[in-house]
Amino acid sequence: MTEENILCPTCGLPVSREDSYCRRCGTDLRKLRLASTPTATPTAPPPSEMQPAPQPAPPYERKYGIVSRLIRVLYKPAETMRDIALAPDYGGVIVVLVAQVVLAIIMVAYTLSKLTVTGPSAAVAYSFVSSIIVFAFALSFILLPVKWLVKSVIVQKACDAGSQWTFKSAASVTGYAYMPNLILSLITSPILIASVPTLNVDFSNLEAARQLLESFQSQVATIELTYVLPLQFLALLWKSYLGALGTSYGTKEMCKVSGAFLVFFLLGLITVAISLFT
C-alpha cells in the first residue's frame, strides 16, 4: 500500500485516497478521507498590541513668582494657592513676615514719639518705659516666626489625611495665608497712628503718673476693641479660607476645604485670644 492509498475500514481493500467508495464493498470512503486528512495547525491569533505602561505625571511647574503670588492671592486665591501648595517656597513667606515686622517697628517709633516724660529722673523713667515698649514688640517679632513654624507643623499633621504632603508645602501655605494679617496691619496702622493720644507722664507725682498710664492703656484697649478686633476677625476668616484652599491642593484634596478651614480658624482664634489677654 502506497502513501496515496488507504485501507477500506469494512473489507480492508487498499483503495486510493481519491476514491469516494470502495470498489469491493461499496463503503463510503469520504468520511474516512476527511478524518485522515491532516488538519492545518491553527495559527495563533496575532497578539494584541501591548498597552503602554502608564507614565507618571510630569512634575508640576511653578507658574508665578513671589511678587505675582503675593498680589494674585488677593484676587485669584484658588489658582494662586494651588500654585503655592504644589510648588512651595519660603521667599514670599519671609516677605510677609518681614513686612509685618517693619510695620510694627513704625508703630513703636510713633508710639515713643507721643510719649513725654517729666519730673525727677525723667531720663531714667523714659528709658524704662521705652524699654518695656520695645521689649514687648521685640518679643512679638520673635514669636511671629515661631508661631508660623508651630502652626505649620500642626496644620501638616492635622490635615495630612494620608496624603504624605511635605512640611515645606504646609509651611508655604500657612505663611502665604498670613497675607490678610499684612493687609490688616496696613489698614489699622493709620487708624492707630491717628487715634493714639499723646502721653505726658510726670513722675514727680507717682500716683498721677500711674493713673495716667492706666487711662492710656484703657484708651488703647478701646481702640483695639472698636477698630482692630473686628478687622482681625475678618482677616481670620479670610486667612482660614486661603489656608484651607492651599491645604486641599497640597494634600491632593484628601483633606477637604471645610476640614482645613476649621483647623485654621481654631488656631487663629487661639492666637487672637492670646493677644487679647497678654
Structural domain includes residue 42: no
Of the two residues 200 and 161, the one the predictor is more confident about is: 161
* pLDDT the model gives residue 261: 96
What mean pLDDT do residues 158-170 have?
92
The C-alpha cell that represents 202 in the structure block:
510726670
What mean pLDDT do residues 262-274 have?
87
253 lies in the same domain as 185: yes
* pLDDT the model gives residue 50: 55
Residue 93 burial (CB count, 10 A): 24
Beta strands 115-118; 14-16: pairing state: unpaired
Structural domain includes residue 56: no
238 lies in the same domain as 150: yes
Residue 107 burial (CB count, 10 A): 18
Q: Is the pLDDT of residue 65 over 90?
A: yes
What's the whole-model pTM score? Answer: 0.69
pLDDT digits (tens, 9 = 90+) for 232-261: 888 899 999 999 999 999 999 999 999 999
The H or E element containing residue 5 is strand 5-7
Round to whole Å and give the CA distance between 107 and 103.
Answer: 6
149 lies in the same domain as 198: yes
203 lies in the same domain as 77: yes
99 lies in the same domain as 177: yes
132 lies in the same domain as 232: yes
pLDDT digits (tens, 9 = 90+) for 178-191: 999 888 888 877 77
- Percent of the chain beyond pLDDT 90? 35
**Residue 194 to residues 188, 218, 231, 243, 275: CA-CA distances in angstroms?**
10, 16, 17, 32, 22
pLDDT digits (tens, 9 = 90+) for 208-229: 777 777 777 777 677 777 777 7
Residues of the domain holding 193: 66-276
155 lies in the same domain as 97: yes
24 lies in the same domain as 70: no
* pLDDT the model gives residue 1: 46
| CA dihedral sign of residues 152, 154, 159, 164 | positive
232 lies in the same domain as 149: yes
137 lies in the same domain as 205: yes
In single-letter form, the type of residue at position 166 comes to T
Structurally, how many domains does the chain consist of?
A: 2
